[in-house]
A and B are shown apart, each in its own frame.
Chain A
Amino acid sequence: MTALLEVSDLSKAYPVGRRGLFRRRTMQALAGVSLSIAPGEVLGLVGESGSGKSTIGKAVLRLIEPETGSIRFDGRDLRALSTEELRAARKDMQIIFQDPYASLDPRKTVRAALAEALDTHGLHTGQRRTPRLNELVQMVGLSPQALDRRPHEFSGGQRQRIGIARALAVEPRFIVADEAVSALDVSIQAQILNLLADLRARTGISILFISHDLSVVRFISDRVMVLYLGRVMELGPADRIHFAPRHPYTAALVSAEPSLAPRQARIRLTGEIPSPMNPPSGCVFRTRCPYALPECAQAVPALRPAGEGQLTACIRDDILS
Chain B
Amino acid sequence: MTSYVLRRLTTALVMLWVVGTIVFSVLLIVPGDPAELLLTTGGADASTDAVENLRKKMGLDRPVAEQYVSFLADTARFDFGDSLIDGTPISETIALRLPRTLELIAVSMVVALALAIPAGTYAGLNAGKRFDRAASAVNALFTSIPGFVSGTLFIYLFAQVLRILPAGGYVAFAQDPWMHVQMLILPTVTVALHLMTIIFRMTRASVLEMRAHDWVRTGIAKGLRRRQVVRRHILRNALGPVITVVGLQLGILLGSTVLVEFVYNWPGLSGFLVSSVQQRDYPSVRAVILTVAAIFIAINFLVEVAYSLLDPRIRLT
A17: chain B residues at CB < 8 Å are 316-317
List the A residue with the shortest CB-CB distance to B10: A21
Interface pairs (3), CB distance under 8 Å? A17-B316, A17-B317, A18-B317
In the complex, what distance in Å separates the CA atom of A278 from the CA atom of B310? 30
Contacts of B316 in A (CB 8 A): 17
A18 CA / B10 CA spacing, docked (Å): 15
Q: Which residues of B approach A to under 8 Å, CB–CB?
A: 316-317
- Chain B residue contacts of A18, Cβ below 8 A: 317
Q: CA of A18 to CA of B317 in the docked complex: distance in angstroms?
A: 6
Give residues 164-199 of A contacting B (CB, 8 Å).
Answer: none
Q: Which residue of A lies closest to B317 (CB)?
A: A18
List the A residue with the shortest CB-CB distance to B316.
A17
A173 and B106 CA atoms in complex are apart in Å by 69
Q: Which residues of A contact B317 (CB under 8 A)?
A: 17-18
A290 to chain B minimum Cβ distance, whole angstroms, is 34
Residue of B nearest to A17 (CB): B316
Q: How far is the CA of A17 from the CA of B316 in the complex (A)?
A: 8
Smallest Cβ distance from A117 to chain B, in angstroms?
37
B6 to chain A, nearest CB (A): 12
User: Per-residue CB proximity of A16-46 to B under 8 Å, as 1/0?
Assistant: 0110000000000000000000000000000
Top 3 closest A-B pairs, CB basis?
A18-B317, A17-B316, A17-B317
State the Cβ distance, A132 to closest chain B Cβ, in Å: 45
CA gap between A163 and B21 in the complex, in Å: 52
Q: How far is the CA of A18 from the CA of B316 in the complex (A)?
A: 8
Q: Chain B residue with minimal CB distance to A18?
A: B317
Considering only CB atoms, which chain A residue lies closest to B3 in the complex?
Answer: A20
8 Å CB interface, A268-289 against B: none
- Minimum distance in angstroms from A162 CB to a CB of chain B: 30
| Cβ of B1 to closest chain A Cβ, rounded Å | 15
How far apart are A25's CB and chain B's nearest CB, in angstroms? 12
Considering only CB atoms, which chain A residue lies closest to B7 in the complex? A18
Q: How far is the CB of A136 from chain B (nearest CB, A)?
A: 39
B5: min CB distance to chain A, Å? 15
How far in angstroms is the closest Cβ of chain B from A277?
14
Cα distance, A85 to B316, chains bound together (Å):
41
- How far does the Cβ of B259 sit from chain A's closest Cβ, in whole Å? 40
A122 to B316, CA, bound (A): 48
Q: A17 CA to B315 CA in the complex, in Å?
A: 11
Bound Cα distance A17, B317 (Å) = 7
A18–B8 CA distance with the chains assembled, in angstroms: 13
- Bound form: Cα–Cα A287–B317 in Å: 29
Chain B nearest CB: distance from A302 CB in Å?
Answer: 37
Taking the closest CB of chain B, its distance from the CB of A23, in whole angstroms, is 13
A18 to chain B, nearest CB (A): 6
CB distance from A22 to the nearest CB of B (A): 13
In the assembled complex, the Cα of A94 lies from the Cα of B273 at a distance in Å of 63
Closest Cβ–Cβ distance, residue A24 to chain B (whole Å): 16
B240 shortest CB reach to chain A, Å: 19
Q: How far is the CB of B184 from chain A (nearest CB, A)?
A: 45
Query: In whole angstroms, how far apart are the Cα atoms of A18 and B314 in the complex?
Result: 12
Q: How far is the CB of B134 from chain A (nearest CB, A)?
A: 34
Q: How far is the CB of B294 from chain A (nearest CB, A)?
A: 25
CA of A18 to CA of B11, assembled, Å? 14
In the docked arrangement, what's the CA distance between A17 and B7, Å?
14
Task: State A18–B315 Cα separation when bound (angstroms).
Answer: 11
Complex Cα–Cα for A276 and B317 (A): 19
Compute how far the CA of A90 lies from the CA of B316 in the bound complex, rounded to whole angstroms: 39
A34-74 Cβ-contact flags toward B at 8 Å (1 or 0): 00000000000000000000000000000000000000000
Q: What distance in Å separates the Cβ of A195 from its nearest Cβ neighbour in chain B? A: 34
A21 CB → nearest B CB, Å: 10
Min Cβ gap B311→A in Å is 16
Contact code string A222-260 (vs B, CB < 8 Å = 1, else 0) = 000000000000000000000000000000000000000
> In the complex, A166→B17 CA distance in Å?
52
Distance (whole angstroms) from the CB of B120 to the closest CB of chain A: 32
Q: How far is the CB of A234 from the nearest CB of chain B, in Å?
A: 35
Chain B proximity of A275: nearest CB distance (Å): 14
A28 to chain B minimum Cβ distance, whole angstroms, is 20
